[in-house]
Amino acid sequence: MTARRTVLAEATARLREAGVASPEHDAAELLAHVLGTTRGRLVLVDEVDPPALEEYAVLVARRAGREPLQHLTGSAWFRHVELAVGPGVFVPRPETELLAGWAVERATELVDAGGAPVVVDLCTGSGAIAKAVADEVPQAVVHAVELDEAAHRWAVRNLAGTGVDLRQGDLATAFDDLAGSVDVVTCNPPYIPLDAWESVAPEARDHDPHLALFSGDDGLDAMRVLERRAALLLRPGGVVGAEHADVQGESAPAVFAATGRWTEVRDHPDLAGRARFVTARLAR
């Protein structure tokens, strides 16, 4: 038997040496996963037995190799919902919770006005935004689409039983049947320029599907497609929100402003104050 504090200290040191951004947090999460408890309840554990220690050592080594934490635990929390994640699907980031919150607020406003808002999530990936909206605004009619086959399989798993209409397809052509009837469009598109390959964290670059990461020379190819599709899907006065890279705080809104189809084009910061997502309203 080995003391919990010793186990965590050694794992934290290894993860820190490997360049993991949050070594203490990840070491604790992995140990809680192995022991079938929560990070907050680890204080109740005094010692770790040899079988658990062996399993933990394997996971710590994989995390030190920069496999995403969520791939090792098999799940990720997003707002109030839990998502199954693993190889083949983009791991949802905390920053995207702000975009989902914006969509929840817009849908809730429509519910308060007596409506049943129609929400479309393009490039749904794991289904994170769609599941969050369906969970927090049960009156909403939520649709989602994902192109990648592997990611779509994860979305099928995560959206089962939620009532979300999930389809497999391209954001550029999805939901012709909803044209002109949608209240809210959300999207977390790929937005990394192709020449930024080396700057991407290994957890994302080596494990997230590249279809979910890279988008042309300036990172805005998918944003341009989204602008055109949102304009077709939304009713007059409907709104769109899309995540972008922190360096695209001016260029992403410009994609919408340049077409003359949109009003109230605004950019929004994340909790660290970095430019994070753009919103716009389709002109009436």
Question: Binding site for S-adenosyl-L-methionine, residues?
Answer: 146, 188
Tokens for 103, please give them. 């969509």
Please give the full DSSP string across 128-177, using - where no structure is assigned: HHHHHHHHH-TTSEEEEEE--HHHHHHHHHHHTTS--EEEES-TTTTTGG
C-alpha angle with apex 192: 210 to 250, nearest 5 degrees? 155
Annotated binding site for substrate: 188-191
Tell me if 129 sits within 8 A of 186, measured CB to CB: yes
Binding site, by residue number, is: 146, 188-191
Question: What is the distance between the terminal CA atoms of the chain, rounded to a whole angstrom?
Answer: 68
Amino acid at 3: A
**Per the structure block, which two tokens stand in for 229?**
């599709």
DSSP letter string, 219-278: S-HHHHHHHHHHHHHEEEEEEEEEE--GGGTTHHHHHHHTTS-EEEEEEEE-TTS-EEEE
